Amino acid sequence: MNSNWIKIKNNSKISLLDIPILDISDLRIEIISLCRGSVSVENGCINGFRPVGFFGKDWGRGDTRLFVVLSDDKNGVFYVSSALFKAGIREYDSITPEIPAFHIFEREFFEEFGIKPKDHPWLKPLRKNQDDYKFFEMDGEEIHQVAVGPIHAGVIEPGHFRFMCNGETVYHLEIMLGYQHRGVESLMVQRSSNRLAESICGDSVIAYNLAYSRLMETVKGISVSSKAQLIRLLALEMERAAIHIGDLGAIAGDIAYLMGTSVFGATRTLVINTMLEFSGSRFGRGLITLGGVNFDIDDDKIQRAKKTFDKVEKDVCRMVKTMLKNSSVVSRLEKTGTVSTERAAEIGLVGLAARASGLNTDSRFDFPDKYFNILNAERIHLKGTGDVNARFKIRYKEILQSFSIIGKIFDKLKEYEKEPVNCGYEVLSKENAKDVFAISVVEGWRGEVVHIAMTDGTGRLTRYKIKDPSFNNWYGLALAVRNNGVSDFPLCNKSFNLSYCGCDL
Amino acid sequence: MFDTLKSRIFQGNQFIKDIEQAPMREQFRGLPVLKNSNCDNCGRCEKICPTGALEFNPLRIDMGKCTFCGDCKNVCAKNAINFSNFYKLASSSREGLIIDERTTKELYEKTAIEVKNEIVSMFSRSLKLRQVSAGGCNGCELELNATSNVNFDMGRFGIDFVASPRHADGLVITGPVTKNMAYALEDCFLATPNPKIVILCGACAISGGVFQDSSELNREFFEKHPVDLYIPGCPVHPLTFINGVLGYIRGKKKERK
Ligand code: SF4
Ligand code: SF4
């Protein structure tokens, strides 16, 4: 630690004026020396820091300020620094050749501010219209291309996939996104709300709304009752369990094991219908608000939910065990779509996919809050083989983990029975702190959801930055399908289940 | 083998028998119930509404914009706004989605969907749909997928999602239609053979929803092509979707033979 960086904890704020401004070449050297270790792994922990934020902000008179946030997972802190690009400076030396995990961050920064990372190996567009983009091509007698999307066969979000195949085998996959770009970050600056936050990525309603709420509560200095905090964590784990169960069903569907699809599908319904009972929406929309939550959960509901979740847990266990006893199932999952531990660390995978590849990152444990700590949850230990099988099993384990956390939350809620669940309507008009930089990271079911906010000297929100776990992980999918059959692509894709809108924003 | 059978037996039958009378949990926020006489014109509801769906004095809610978030109800100190759990919200006209104090569920159910004979004669037994997500957040998409699961099992009514627009009788659009998806949506529409219907699913598709002020949208599609059915929600509940489509292609149960 030196004066080139300032440390910040999760869910906290620092003064914007305290963030060091370095020369870009110095900042680059700093970043590389801190992140260099991140390509080596020891017992599942990466040795260096990894990027969670690398984004620009218009700094007036044509200047651009680049903010960098690195995560020190071992010590649970973030390092923040910045560099100023004067109007005339349009390029800098790319960091990606040294630290590959920066590749997509630098592409984003280039696309938004036009400042070019020199010698970036693959400086292609990220979100803007890409009609003229020339795909990476391979040559050879037997090589052929398969193009899929933006509209896919199923009912899913749009994205384009271009495969370079030799017969059945995929040599290379290029993923082109941006179709979902709705300009969310600038909408957040114009008029942020819990409802907009929920709609950024509608399969992670709770994770996004929680990150937004915690962030704005930090910026505004609002404190939230213990009861509301616990209900929020409850909802987060329910979301995780529900989506994971649905994904087990989707994986089963892609290997044509329809029994699994039906059972997991029906089981997921039970979880999201409980969410409906808690919040009036199957995905928990409308539950979380600034200052707390909108709905109390009484003992009646808790008892009913406990019963339901017992059944769900049993059904899931029975079905997973049945599946894994079936050799024709296992042979489809094992060694399909593998990302090795080293590769995962190198390209900066996060969340579930990283854990399946043997990295031990989980922001719930790396950056815990007070309420998660009192629940005494335990990390999952799984031999991360990095294939579809590992991503299947880690989902199963996380479902069990979530239900165990949920059980503990139900018990804890009794202690806070008398507390209010929110601070009322007036809290919404509370002023933002002036000149601050705040960060909130929530471990959604896919991985870390990062929200960062900045205000100016009048307390106006001037920048809102979001990073979805899919932002890091799409490239992992592209690597996973190499040397697999092209017909296994749907299976690999489902095993990652990445977000299009979370990446496109 | 025996394990598989056991799992099957433990599951029992999951499907909802009568989809038109399916019960709904009371907490579900469906058709709003408004009461002007309680309202003291404080304006909090209008201020908090994230989509500008609500007006007061007199109270009106545009369900084409509404996200059913319930914030208006939560901030109303006078209990003038409530939500019933009535889920048959689809309407065949855009204006039909705007409701006021006089709207009751009986009235809404009767008038919201105008049944057309040519549609009924063409599609009542089989309707194949192509879904296009044009900026949809995956909320509506998840719920549309759920319509085909073992609980809702929409396929039994002859309504299915198909992989190609060439096989489809209509489009189901979700999302506010981003600039980057506008041409793909148009292409998909053109690739669908006539006669075809267009169904808008969710607040985003109907009005832009929470994204209506974004500069990254391109909603020209709706200036060019007529829409058959509007299905409100954020996201749309599977029962809302299935009943909406069934109502449009088959008419009301009692009027059916
Ligand atoms: S429920 Fe509908 S009308 Fe009420 S605040 Fe939410 S979006 Fe607006
Ligand atoms: S209407 Fe709501 S759930 Fe549907 S796509 Fe839009 S934001 Fe998502």
Q: So what's the pLDDT on residue B257?
A: 41
How far away, in angstroms, is B232 Cα from ligand 2 center?
10
Instruction: Give the ligand with the smallest distance to the CA of B51.
Output: 1
A374 pLDDT tier (thresholds 50, 70, 90) = confident
Among protein residues, the one whose CA lies closest to atom 2 of ligand 1: B66
User: Under a CB-based contact definition with an 8 Å cutoff, are residues A420 and A227 in contact?
Assistant: yes
How far away, in angstroms, is A420 Cα from ligand 1 center?
23
Mutation site, B72, B132, B210, B240, interface A, largest A CB count within 10 A: B210
Phi, psi torsion values for B95, nearest 5 degrees:
-65, -30
Closest CB to B14 among A157, A201, A266 = A266
User: Under a CB-based contact definition with an 8 Å cutoff, are residues A504 and A180 in contact?
Assistant: yes
Ligand 1 neighbour B69 (Cβ under 6 A): yes
The answer on pLDDT for A38 being more than 70 is no
Residues of A in contact with B10 (CB under 8 A): 315, 318
Contact between B140 and A202 using a beta-carbon 8 Å cutoff: yes
CA dist A149 to A153, A270, A374, B179, B216, Å? Answer: 8, 33, 46, 16, 20
Q: What is the pLDDT of residues A423-456, one digit of tens each?
A: 877 777 788 888 999 999 999 999 999 999 999 9
With the most atoms of ligand 2 within 8 angstroms of its CB, the residue from A199, A209, A283, A504 to mutate is A199
Q: So what's the pLDDT on residue A486?
A: 85
Q: What is the 3-state secondary structure (H, E, C) of A62-73?
A: CCEEEEEEEEEC
Q: Nearest CA to CA, how far is A157 from chain B (Å)?
A: 5
Q: What is the pLDDT of residues B86-139, one digit of tens each?
A: 999 999 999 989 988 888 888 888 888 888 888 888 888 889 999 999 988 999
Q: Is B174 exposed, middle or buried (0-12, 13-18, 19+ CB in 10 A)?
A: buried
Contacts of A77 (CB under 8 A, 6+ apart): A7, A8, A9
Residue ranges per domain, chain A?
Answer: 6-118, 184-473
CA B1 to chain centre: 41
Among protein residues, the one whose CA lies closest to atom 6 of ligand 2: B204
Ranges A15-24, A385-394, B190-199, B245-254: which has the least confidence: B245-254
Ligand 1 neighbour B61 (Cβ under 6 A): yes
Nearest residue in chain B measured CA to CA from A263: B11
Phi, psi torsion values for A115, nearest 5 degrees:
-95, 125
The answer on pLDDT for B254 being more than 70 is no
Contact between A202 and B67 using a beta-carbon 8 Å cutoff: no
Please report, as a single letter, which amino acid is at residue A306.
K
Contact between A269 and B149 using a beta-carbon 8 Å cutoff: yes
- Kindly give the residue spans of alpha helices, DSSP state H, lying in chain B: 2-11, 44-48, 71-75, 105-111, 117-123, 139-146, 179-191, 203-207, 221-224, 238-250
User: Under a CB-based contact definition with an 8 Å cutoff, are residues A448 and A441 in contact?
Assistant: yes
Contact between A265 and B209 using a beta-carbon 8 Å cutoff: no
Tell me if the domain spanning A6-118 has CATH number 3.40.50.10320. no
Q: So what's the pLDDT on residue B1?
A: 63
Contact between A262 and B11 using a beta-carbon 8 Å cutoff: yes
Mutation site, A155, A185, A313, A497, interface B, largest B CB count within 10 A: A155
The maximal CA–CA distance of chain A, rounded, in angstroms, is: 73
Ranges A29-43, A192-206, B47-61: which has the least confidence: A29-43
The encoded tokens of residue B29 equal: 């926020």
Residues of A in contact with B51 (CB under 8 A): 195
Residue ranges per domain, chain B?
Answer: 117-250
Q: Is B22 exposed, middle or buried (0-12, 13-18, 19+ CB in 10 A)?
A: middle
User: Percentage of chain A with pLDDT > 70?
Assistant: 99
DSSP per residue, B166-230: GG-SEEEEES--BHHHHHHHHHHHHHSPSS-EEEEESHHHHH-GGGTT-TTB--THHHHS--SEE
Of the candidates B16, B73, B146, B109, which has an alpha carbon nearest to the alpha carbon of residue A246?
B146
Ligand 2 atom having least distance to the Cα of B143 = 3
Q: Position of tokens 């050879």?
A: A140
Contact between B133 and A499 using a beta-carbon 8 Å cutoff: no
Q: So what's the pLDDT on residue B252?
A: 65
Neighbouring-strand partners of residue A51: A70
| Region A232-247 average pLDDT | 93
Q: What is the pLDDT of residues B48-100, one digit of tens each?
A: 899 999 988 888 899 999 999 998 998 888 888 999 999 999 999 999 899 88
Among protein residues, the one whose CA lies closest to atom 7 of ligand 2: A199
User: Percentage of chain A with pLDDT > 90?
Assistant: 39
Q: What is the pLDDT of residues B140-169, one digit of tens each?
A: 999 998 898 888 888 888 899 998 888 999
Ligand 1 neighbour B119 (Cβ under 6 A): no
Please calculate the CA angle A320-A322-A324 and round it to the nearest 5 degrees. 65
A184-473 CATH pick, 1.10.645.10, 1.10.4000.10, 3.40.309.10, 3.40.640.10: 1.10.645.10
Torsion of CA B98, B104, B109, B110, to 10 degrees: -100
CB atoms within 10 A of CB B255: 9
Tell me the CATH architecture of domain B117-250: 3-Layer(aba) Sandwich (3.40)
Q: How far apart are CA B49 and CA B59, in angstroms?
A: 13
Average predicted confidence (pLDDT) for chain A: 88
Instruction: Give the ligand with the smallest distance to the CA of A283.
Output: 2
How far away, in angstroms, is A196 Cα from ligand 1 center?
12
Q: What is the pLDDT of residues A379-416, one digit of tens each?
A: 888 888 889 999 999 999 999 999 999 999 998 888 88
- Model-level pTM greater than 0.90? yes
How far away, in angstroms, is B178 Cα from ligand 2 center?
13
Q: So what's the pLDDT on residue A201?
A: 92
The encoded tokens of residue B175 equal: 């999302």
Of the candidates B135, B128, B111, B95, which has an alpha carbon nearest to the alpha carbon of residue B195?
B128
The answer on pLDDT for A239 being more than 90 is yes
Q: How far apart are CA A424 and CA A147, in angstroms?
A: 52
ipTM of the complex as predicted: 0.90
Phi, psi torsion values for A468, nearest 5 degrees:
-85, 150
| Region A329-348 average pLDDT | 87
